[in-house]
Amino acid sequence: MNVQRMGGDGTVGKALDVLDRVAAYGRPVRFSELLEGSPFPKATTYRLLQTLVSQGMLRLDPESGTYAPGMRLVRMAHAAWAQSSLAPIAQPHLDRLSQEVGETVHLAQLDGAQVLYVDKRNRAAKVPMYSDAGKVGPAYCTGVGKAMLAFLPEAELTRVLAQQSWHPFTGATITSPQAMREELAAIRDRGHAYDLEEHEPGIRCIAMPVLSARGRVQGAVSVTTDGPGPLDDHLPALRAAVTRIAGDLRDWRFPDKGEDQEWQASS
């Protein structure tokens, strides 16, 4: 159950599929562009777009005849962000961590097989903003991604690993499930993950997962740098931040999802 694919159920599924497609282009799209690559016939796609526009989920620029995601999404997302993510709880701790380490700090959650960044503190800008919230990235070659994978229940891990692209972004990128499982074992051992230029050249980071009381992965925090300094210098601060977040998490009785499966290091 709970399959990943979309466009599945009924009209609503189709509409959301179209919505996703529009969002996927990083720019306003014309109807015809959208059409090629759409699994639905012309008239259907057209009608769905109409509906979405009338609902405010899409914005149609009448001048250029292009569609773009609408602001209603932002409004809705606020609610999601505020109550369905770690971000509100982690907020003050990220502030403090960012202060302490003086580097860019990320908070991410696992969304399907991808990493979803839900908050961020920029190194330079002393004041945060969530330009990055909502951004997604690969799980298999980012610090936060690997930190979370390492503590996933076996069944879930298998499923997620099967969905990775294993694209070799750099020479250091891990490109196979087997190699990844070894890496994850090491991460479990030492309690934190590194990303040593596996995603972007010159970018390294150290990351730790945030676990619920039951040991379920709730998210991950990372400290990123593009400089030469040793990452481990940030470990104490990072560990402290994650501990505090997990603590608050427990207190606030946050949605700790259903099944209380054991995650185990099998394989």
- 33-52 residues in contact with DNA (CB under 7 A) are 35, 40-44, 46-48, 51
Task: Give the shortest CB-107-to-its own copies separation in angstroms.
Answer: 10
Segment near its own copies (CB under 8 A); pick from 55-63, 147-155, 163-171, 196-204: 55-63
Instruction: Give the Å distances, CA to CA, from 214 to 162, 217, 249, 263.
Output: 25, 9, 11, 10
- 12 contributes a contact to DNA by CB under 7 A: yes
Cβ count near 201 (within 10 Å): 11
Using the contact rule CB under 8 A, the part of the chain among 36-44, 80-88, 155-163, 232-240 near its own copies is 80-88
- For tokens 């610090």, the residue is 143
- Alpha-helix runs per DSSP H in the chain: 10-24, 31-35, 42-54, 71-84, 87-101, 143-149, 154-162, 177-190, 235-251
Judged by CB under 7 A, which of 2, 5, 9, 126 binds DNA? 9
Using the rule CB under 8 A, which residue among 39, 215, 230, 255 binds its own copies? 255
Between 62 and 171, name the residue whose CB sits nearer to DNA: 62
The least distance separating its own copies from the CB of residue 178, rounded to whole angstroms, comes to 29
Q: Kindly write down the DSSP assignment for every residue of 24-65, as one continuous string.
A: HSSS-EEHHHHHTT-SS-HHHHHHHHHHHHHTTSEEEETTTT
Region 52-91 residues binding DNA, contact defined as CB under 7 A? 65
Q: Based on CB atoms, which residue is closest to its own copies, 136 or 196? A: 136
Contact between 89 and 102 under an 8 Å Cβ cutoff? The reply is: no
Among DNA, its own copies, none, residue 16 binds (CB under 5-8 Å by kind):
its own copies
Q: In angstroms, give the least distance from the CB of 193 to its own copies.
A: 21
Kindly tell me the sign of the dihedral angle through the C-alpha atoms of 251, 257, 258, 260. Answer: negative
Nearest to DNA of 43, 124 (CB atom): 43
φ, ψ dihedrals at 195, nearest 5°: -125, 105
**From the list its own copies, DNA, none, partner contacted by residue 118 (C-beta under 5 to 8 A by kind):** its own copies
Binding status of residue 135 toward its own copies by CB under 8 A: yes
User: What is the Cα 97 distance to its own chain's centre?
Assistant: 20
Q: Please state the closest distance from residue 140 (CB atom) to its own copies, in A.
A: 18
Q: Are 89 and 249 in contact (CB under 8 A)?
A: yes
Residue ranges that bind DNA, judged by CB under 7 A? 9-12, 14, 30-32, 35, 40-44, 46-48, 51, 65
